[in-house]
Amino acid sequence: MKSEEDAFGQMIWAYYKGKEVFEIWERDDGYISVALPKTYFSEYADWPLHQRKAMEFVKGSVLDVGCGAGRHSLYLQKKGLDVLGIDVSPLAVKVCRLRGVKKAKVMSIEEVNFKPRAFNSVIMMGNNFSLFGGFKKARRLLHKFHRMTTQNARIIAETRDPYRTDNPTYLEYYELNKKRGRMSGQLRGRLRFERYIGKWFDWLSVSKEEMVEILNETSWKVKEFIDSEDSQYIAIIEKMA
């Protein structure tokens, strides 16, 4: 990634340096949303209950995919687990290291290629199931995850049920997506920060039924869902023998 494309990392870096910043996301139909990045730096005690519960399922050697500013890596590392955080953003990885993440690497989810049985757990927190991007890419990456994880491994993945909204611009967008042959919750967007503009990417939000359909014909199966008070939920996904 070119440094001028690392809008997410620049935003994380500015926040880390004490600036007041916003996360600006632009959808490909022109819809703009704004969020505060403080969640990326939040401590375990401040996480919602479903996220804290999910951490009980993480074991052994852990791959934190899209680790951001490293909040989950830091928590698990403190508990004595061997954690590797990967993120496509070089500046996010720099912030992780400065915050004490022992193993953090610049790597995109598309590039993961670890040795067989390297991890017992893969975590995709902060709605990072969405990094699977689309149906086919998800299946391809799940196949890769199979090879690089041990028997009885788990994927702990968070996403948002796209249909649990009454925001008309989202409902219209899902219709537009269906017309263009995409999954309803396959959001195409890019991040912006000051003069930095990220590349367009697909961010896949799925209902529980859609997640189960993606996992069908793979060697992964949902063991249980952990619900939150809103549309976010976490799937505990287990490797089948």
Ligand X SMILES: C[S@@+](CC[C@H](N)C(=O)[O-])C[C@H]1O[C@@H](n2cnc3c(N)ncnc32)[C@H](O)[C@@H]1O
For position 125 contacting ligand X by CB under 6 A, the verdict is: yes
**Tokens found for residue 204:** 């896949």
Q: Compute how many residues bind ligand X; rule: CB under 6 A.
A: 18
CB of 16 to ligand X, least distance (A): 13
For position 87 contacting ligand X by CB under 6 A, the verdict is: yes
Distance CA 15, CA 12 (A): 5
Single residue of 13, 54, 68, 234 touching ligand X by CB under 6 A: 68
The gap from C-alpha 169 to its chain's centroid, in whole angstroms, comes to 23
Single residue of 13, 15, 25, 40 touching ligand X by CB under 6 A: 40
CA angle 226, 110, 176 (to 5 degrees): 70
CB of 185 to ligand X, least distance (A): 15
Q: How many CB atoms lie within 10 A of CB 202?
A: 17
For position 92 contacting ligand X by CB under 6 A, the verdict is: yes
Single residue of 95, 96, 104, 131 touching ligand X by CB under 6 A: 131
Distance CA 129, CA 158 (A): 6
Is 19 or 179 the residue whose CB approaches ligand X more closely?
19
For position 109 contacting ligand X by CB under 6 A, the verdict is: yes
Tokens 């920060």 sit on residue: 193
Farthest-apart Cα atoms in the chain, separation: 49
By the criterion CB under 6 A, which residues form the site for ligand X?
Answer: 8, 40, 66-68, 71, 87-89, 92, 108-110, 125-128, 131
